[in-house]
Amino acid sequence: MDVKQKLAHQYDNIAIYTSGFYADPEDALGSRSKLMETLKSLTMNQHADTPFSLQIMTTNGEINVMPLGLLSLDELKAYENEHRKEVGLKDEDDAIPMVVQFAPHTEHAKVEKQIVGTTNALFDNFNDQFPKVWTAVSQYLDANQAILISIERDLLTDAKDVQSEYQNNFSTMTAEERKQNLGYELKDSELDHFSHFMADMHEVQSVVMSAASFTQHEIMGDNLFATVMNDRVLRNTFFWVLDNTFYEIMYYFIEKTRAIPDSEKIIKHLRHQKKLMIINMRNDAFQRAQKALDDPKQTIDLNHYFTDIFIPVAEQFSTEIDKMTTN
């Protein structure tokens, strides 16, 4: 079977089986379980020649598990040409290779991919094949986490300059001028803490505005909010962005904490607080979304929506750090 026949047999006028989930950066075991359950369900309910795409959404990219050629038929052609060189033209194996692909959502990033066996191997020997798939996926999850940490450290570097600017500006003011600008009294002894807090909120706001902008351009578009909420894929992606934003803020404060003595104890405390905080964030986001749906024709200001949800989250992380560091 030549490549054109194979492509026609595999992909011509056949519905693609799709599924996806969000990879919680704090729960590798949960991500592994979701991946196993989804792929196992595929092998139990479909056939080896079923075109499928499993998307794993991450904080700074996406991972796809799929047959090679599903997104680019030229890839499959190139693979087959190389395969024939290696094994000879008489090879009759028509199994489609399976690929794990990582697409980072960062500027100038290159898509990475690994071929992990074949679709037939997944269906015929699931217990042997799945660990190979998970190994590739977990490597890309680690790569994604490294990107996240790098972004947070860049924000923290910028925060130093912002903090200095706040401190310099307010240190030149009189007590009365500070009160006029802030609406409350700011003592000299509180200036250092205040400037660090304001710098943190400045960096968090940049994360929040980026998330709102992404949502507006990639999810909302020209659609009404009600239209997005009534579309399963768009709605799921919308709430993925919310979780995503939460973790980007959380890891900002985790990385900030690493410079503090006894940081591991504080980070452990932040992770403990996160369990309730993310639930509260989701409930708040859902309630605000429901309120916006009271009028189906209502537009929504995503900058305000994201800011109202996530600035309190950032303030709580900041407060939790203060509790652990203030004598």
Tens digit of each residue's pLDDT (9 = 90 or more) over 65-82: 988 877 555 666 665 555
Average pLDDT, whole number, for the chain? 88
Mean pLDDT comparison of 94-98, 257-261, 276-280, highest-scoring range? 276-280
pLDDT for the residue 3 = 44
pLDDT at position 152 over 90: yes
- Is residue 116 within 8 A of residue 136, CB to CB? The reply is yes
What are the backbone angles phi and psi of residue 112, rounded to the nearest 5°?
-110, 150
pLDDT for the residue 19 = 86
Q: What secondary structure, in 3-state letters, does 172-197 show?
A: CCCHHHHHHHHCCCCCHHHHHHHHHH
| Residue partners of 185: CB distance under 8 A and separation at least 6 | 175, 178, 179
Q: Bridge partners of 57?
A: 22, 62
pLDDT digits (tens, 9 = 90+) for 264-283: 999 999 999 999 999 999 99
pLDDT tier, 35 (very low <50, low <70, confident <90, very high otherwise): very high
Provide the percentage of residues in the chain whose pLDDT is more than 90. 64
pLDDT for the residue 5 = 53
pLDDT digits (tens, 9 = 90+) for 173-192: 988 888 888 889 888 889 99
- Is residue 302 within 8 A of residue 215, CB to CB? The reply is yes
pLDDT tier, 2 (very low <50, low <70, confident <90, very high otherwise): very low
pLDDT for the residue 251 = 97
Task: Report how far residue 242's alpha carbon sits from residue 248's, in angstroms, rounded to the nearest whole number.
Answer: 10
pLDDT for the residue 95 = 75
Task: Report how far residue 132's alpha carbon sits from residue 139's, in angstroms, rounded to the nearest whole number.
Answer: 11
Mean pLDDT within 223-246? 92
Mean pLDDT within 149-165? 96
Tokens of 31: 């991500």
**Residue where the block lists tokens 């600008």:** 181
**Range with lowest mean pLDDT among 146-150, 204-208, 253-257, 297-301:** 297-301
pLDDT for the residue 105 = 87
CB atoms within 10 A of CB 43: 17
Q: Produce one character per residue of 90-121: b if its CB has 16 or more CB atoms within 10 Å, e if not.
A: eeeeebbbbbbbbbbeeeeeeebbbebbbbbb
**Range with lowest mean pLDDT among 13-22, 118-127, 145-154:** 13-22
pLDDT for the residue 1 = 44
